[in-house]
């Protein structure tokens, strides 16, 4: 069965600092990978997704993620964080066994001024 792990429950960064949120998946073949963001009191919004091809994927709001098959990872990055990036971030994986993504438990991003 597909699964995804987000090892960090909370991440705190200063505004302007770089950011990396970790995501590891469990699935044998190449999975379909997603990052979603949830602002307080809101639903989830897709930041980016990876299916195949270039392993570095660009998303909205200046985010990018890199698929590393050897590490079973799909980490989310942003070079300079803004206070408005404070939110909950979810990694998700879908595979041949189930097209419906399985979500990780989320990482809460706190941004200090």
Partner 1 sequence: NAGVTQTPKFQVLKTGQSMTLQCAQDMNHNSMYWYRQDPGMGLRLIYYSASEGTTDKGEVPNGYNVSRLNKREFSLRLESAAPSQTSVYFCASSEVPGLGNTIYFGEGSWLTVV
Q: How far is the CB of 92 from partner 1 (least distance, A)?
A: 8
Q: Is 32 in the site for partner 1 (CB under 8 A)?
A: yes
Among the listed residues 51, 79, 110, 112, the single contact to partner 1 using CB under 8 A: 51
Among the listed residues 11, 22, 26, 44, the single contact to partner 1 using CB under 8 A: 44
Pair of tokens at residue 11: 């991440």
Q: By CB neighbour count within 10 A (0-12 exposed, 13-18 middle, 19+ buried), where does 57 fall? A: buried
Q: How far apart are CA 89 and CA 111, in angstroms?
A: 13
Residue 87's φ and ψ, nearest 5 degrees, are -175, 180
Q: Is 59 in the site for partner 1 (CB under 8 A)?
A: no
Q: Is 95 in the site for partner 1 (CB under 8 A)?
A: yes
* Interface positions with partner 1 (CB under 8 A): 9, 32, 36, 41-46, 49, 51, 90, 94-96, 99-101, 103-106
């Amino acid at each position: 069965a597909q699964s995804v792990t987000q090892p960090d429950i909370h991440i705190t960064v200063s505004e302007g600092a770089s950011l990396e949120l970790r995501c590891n998946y469990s699935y044998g073949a190449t999975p379909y990978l997603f990052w979603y963001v949830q602002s307080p009191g809101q639903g989830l919004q897709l930041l980016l997704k990876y299916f195949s091809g270039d392993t570095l994927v660009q998303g909205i709001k200046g985010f990018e993620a890199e698929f590393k098959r050897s590490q079973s990872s799909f980490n989310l990055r942003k070079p300079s964080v803004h206070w408005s990036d404070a939110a909950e971030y979810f990694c998700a994986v879908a595979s041949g066994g189930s097209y419906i993504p399985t979500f990780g438990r989320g990482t809460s991003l706190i941004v200090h001024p």
